[in-house]
Amino acid sequence: MRITRVDVWALKLRLSEPYAVSYESIEHAVNVFLRLETDRGLVGLGCANPDLAVCNETEGGVSAALDGPARQTLMSADPLRAAQLRERLRKLLPESPAARAAVDMALFDLLGKHCGLPVYQLLGGYRDRIITSVTIGILEPEETVRRARDLTAQGFKALKLKGGLDVEQDIERVLAVRSAVGPKIRLRFDANQGYDVGQALRLVEGTRRARLELLEQPTPRDELEALDSVRRAATQLPIMADESLMGLRDAFRIARGGLADMINVKLMKCGGIWPAMEITSLARTAGIEVMVGCMDECALGIAAALSVALAHPGVVYADLDGHLDLIDDPTAAAVALKNGMISPRTLDDLECPL
């Protein structure tokens, strides 16, 4: 089998409800799509969500990477030799993890279609669905509570609150949401690097009775000693590394130093499905729990990340909601949500204009 056609294009998708994190406000999301066609009529799809703040990638950079080095590497290549292609692109595009992720997704999509199996089963098929959290951006306490009630009424069982701008207001919001949704809903908190050590520990202490499930990336990404200090002091609350972990080397550094209790693995950060599986295996060996997360990705990207979450027993949590507020997502039907559980669907069986 050979790849005979490579198509690359970008879509700017508006959010139905813009949201804020500690370092920016988001009103739309650009997704760059990749379509691979083979001489056997199979089509593989992938996508990238460039994030300048996290991955240092732009729409133009990702499109150029896919239209240039990726196209040259993929044309006429055998897509079933994915490991070889992946290694070539890792060397050609070392600073373009989201672009590499799009290629990796498309190659896995082709492999699954060639074998007649969904990707999560090819990778191990540990489970066929998983609870996902849904995110509430930084809002006033009253609006945060309203959103929390709306989402739990829709069946979501896990909420992730964003914060990091004002620790006292963050504590107020966490406690208000816990009071509003009751004890059975899982609550997670993501500071997006917004705190110093003292502020992070103030949040830990101030929200103790809310029984947070985890605290994600409380301190700046490059200040690993600060992250470790929070982890050592906050013994009753697991501390998760997100922005501090980009790829396998970061995962090894965190595991070797015991710098975090948990890590958030995202395909856009690490370069795709296969690197995410490698990181998850390393973390499991080190006794570190894994959450599979996402950027503002269309449902196609969410489906790829979900394949990792379903395949690997080392994955304990999922935060796969990046597609929910995207307007006119052409791949919206790639995953299914029911009662807070996310499960895969197959694009072969859907009307998809890609």
Residue 192 · residue 23 · CB < 8 Å: yes
Out of 104, 216, 228, 250, the active site residue is 216
Per annotation, catalytic residue among 228, 242, 297, 321: 242
Q: How many Cβ atoms sit within 10 Å of the Cβ of residue 22?
A: 18
Classified as helix, coil or strand, 190 is strand
Determine contact, residues 38/2, Cβ cutoff 8 Å.
yes
Q: 162 catalytic, yes or no? A: yes
Asked if 193 and 219 count as a contact pair (C-beta separation under 8 A), the reply is yes
Distance CA(2)–CA(75), nearest Å, equals 8
What's the half-sphere exposure (Cβ side, CA atoms, 13 Å) at 269?
25
CB 22 within 8 A of CB 242: no
Clarify whether 95 is annotated catalytic. Answer: no
Scanning the structure block, which residue is given the tokens 């079933």? 80
At 3, list the tokens: 């790849």
Residue 80 backbone phi and psi in degrees, to 5: -80, -10
The answer to whether residue 113 is catalytic is no
- Which of left, alpha, beta for 270 (phi over 0: left; psi -120 to 50: alpha)? alpha
In the set 266, 296, 325, 329, the catalytic residue is 266
238 contacts 259 by C-beta, under 8 angstroms: no
Catalytic residue among 57, 109, 170, 190: 190
Torsion of CA 164, 169, 171, 177, to 10 degrees: -110
Please identify which of the residues 162, 261, 296, 321 carries the catalytic annotation: 162
The residues that are catalytic are 162, 190, 216, 242, 266
